[in-house]
């Protein structure tokens, strides 16, 4: 059996396996985060992703860990499935890892891994098909033209839904510093099984549920963000594992229940209530951020199309070819806040959006482009009552402070796996904005 390490010049490569301790079988699509243990601050070395046999491999330069006190890495591993931590070996780290280090075999328990329970291994029976083929313009020749279909209200035809594909892996990407020479792109998987594609057994799409996520602010607490679908039209074809849909969406931000217990939020909420002004305490009262098609600023409809985005490189930790059943992607341009009709409310909403963007790395900054790859599990039957209640359950459950009902998403990371860290900027920029607003308006 080969050893765990190879060293070529300054490049170190570590290889190992992750297996299920219940049956000793390798587990695919787990993230293995590798660290060098130090006295003051541990060095993050990179992320490996397990293949079908459970094997992972990653390389890093010696400059990531070497200093006058440290010539060999002291390695430990954190194994995650999306945001769920399955193993942390920090207390059993490998001292002076080198080419004589024996094989690395990590054993994990996935009994409580909710994401794995969401994966449907094969499509449920009952597929008929034919809707895509009902109009030659619907197909990829080369681009689907769905304009002959009416844009439907997203929750108006739940009684027609028969089949669904769950988005177990909603992978988002955006530039944290748009407009700069180095825009520092981020990649983040939102929580699993919020998003769904719902359609008939012939393949006509009638409803699409899009993702939600949370971002935490030091002074305001957790804020929820949802990509809300306002209209849709399209098709899914289970035979080819393809889809094409047009969507209209808006971004919505509101305070979570936990945030509304914070004194800073209470002060603003009470002031707005006394003045009879709307306050973003729920999705119904949320701050609304307009969006538009990147190719046409006057167009509010966006295509959801087959395959992955090709506008930028995708890191291995944001891919799921081995477990997913199909893949589509969507691109939207972020616009300005929808005016409320009250000047003070608009200024407060802009303050909240600025705070959210500091916390999230400009995810919803005016002019930025938000892209997501949606990795589906195999088709299932729809429970129409459950579908109606699904989005509501998430709205009342997801919270950046407490996670989400079906397991957490991942941390925002750059292409090399290094986490996006907004805290320093938050502390510097957030509080002065809040103080200035309070002095002017309260």
What is the predicted pLDDT for the residue at 335?
Answer: 94
How does residue 402 score in pLDDT terms, banded at 50, 70 and 90? very low
The mean-pLDDT minimum among 130-134, 190-194, 311-315 falls in: 190-194
The distance from CA 37 to its chain's CA centroid, rounded to whole angstroms, is 29
Angle (CA) 175-244-364 rounded to 5° is: 25
How does residue 295 score in pLDDT terms, banded at 50, 70 and 90? confident
CA–CA dist 328, 374 (Å, integer): 5
- Give per-residue pLDDT as tens, 176-198: 988 888 899 999 998 888 899 99
What is the predicted pLDDT for the residue at 359?
Answer: 82
Q: Which residue has the tokens 């477990």?
A: 323
Angle (CA) 388-259-425 rounded to 5° is: 115
pLDDT above 50 for 102: yes
Highest-pLDDT range among 215-219, 323-327, 384-388, 405-409: 323-327
CB 32 within 8 A of CB 48: yes
Mean of pLDDT values over 151-163: 94
CA–CA dist 353, 363 (Å, integer): 10
Residues 6 or more apart whose Cβ sits within 8 Å of residue 68: none
5-112: CATH topology: Immunoglobulin-like (2.60.40)
Mean of pLDDT values over 144-158: 94
Query: How many other C-beta atoms lie within 10 A of the C-beta of residue 296?
Result: 10
Sequence ranges of the domains in the chain: 5-112, 116-441
Mean of pLDDT values over 22-44: 93
Mean of pLDDT values over 199-212: 92
State the average pLDDT for the chain: 90
DSSP 272-336: HHHTT----SSGGG-EEEEEEBTTBTT---EEEEES---SS---GGG--TTT-SEEEEEEEEEEE
What is the predicted pLDDT for the residue at 181?
Answer: 86
């Amino acid at each position: 059996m080969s050893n765990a390490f190879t060293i070529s010049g300054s490049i170190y490569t570590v290889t190992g396996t992750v297996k299920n301790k219940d049956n000793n079988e390798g587990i695919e699509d787990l993230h293995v985060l590798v660290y060098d243990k130090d006295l003051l601050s541990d060095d993050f070395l990179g992320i490996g992703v397990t293949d079908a046999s459970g094997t992972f491999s990653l390389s890093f330069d010696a400059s990531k860990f070497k200093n006058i006190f440290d010539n060999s890495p002291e390695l430990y591993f954190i194994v995650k499935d999306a945001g769920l931590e399955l193993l942390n070996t920090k207390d059993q780290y490998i001292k002076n890892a080198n080419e004589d280090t024996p094989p690395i075999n990590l054993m994990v328990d996935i009994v409580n891994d909710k994401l794995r329970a969401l994966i449907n291994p094969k499509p449920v029976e009952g597929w008929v098909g034919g809707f895509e083929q009902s109009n030659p313009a619907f197909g990829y020749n080369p681009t689907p033209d769905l304009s002959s279909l009416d844009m439907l209200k997203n929750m108006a035809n739940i009684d027609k839904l028969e089949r669904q594909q769950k988005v177990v892996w909603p992978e988002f990407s955006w530039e944290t510093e748009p407009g700069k020479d180095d825009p520092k792109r981020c990649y983040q998987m939102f929580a699993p099984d919020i998003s769904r594609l719902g359609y008939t057994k012939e393949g006509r799409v009638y409803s699409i549920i899009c993702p939600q996520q949370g971002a935490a602010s030091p002074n305001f607490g957790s804020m929820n963000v949802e990509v809300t679908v306002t209209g849709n039209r399209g098709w899914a074809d289970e035979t080819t594992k393809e889809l094409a849909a047009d969507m209209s969406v808006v971004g919505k931000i509101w305070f979570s229940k936990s945030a509304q217990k914070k004194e800073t939020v209470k002060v603003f909420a009470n002031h707005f209530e006394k003045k009879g002004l709307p306050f973003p305490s729920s999705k119904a009262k949320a701050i609304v951020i307009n969006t538009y098609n990147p190719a046409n600023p006057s167009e509010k409809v966006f295509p959801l199309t087959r395959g992955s985005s090709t506008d930028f490189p995708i890191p291995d930790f944001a891919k799921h070819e081995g477990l997913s059943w199909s893949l589509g992607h969507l691109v939207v341009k972020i616009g300005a806040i929808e005016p409320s009709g009250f000047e003070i409310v608009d200024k407060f909403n802009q303050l909240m959006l600025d705070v959210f963007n500091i916390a999230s790395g400009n995810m919803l900054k005016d002019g930025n482009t938000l892209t997501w790859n949606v990795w589906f599990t195999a088709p299932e039957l729809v429970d129409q009552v459950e579908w109606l209640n699904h989005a509501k359950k998430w709205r009342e459950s997801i919270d950046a402070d407490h996670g989400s009902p079906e397991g957490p998403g991942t941390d925002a990371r750059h292409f090399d796996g290094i986490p996006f860290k907004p805290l320093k900027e938050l502390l510097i920029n957030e509080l002065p904005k809040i103080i200035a607003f309070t002095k002017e308006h309260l």
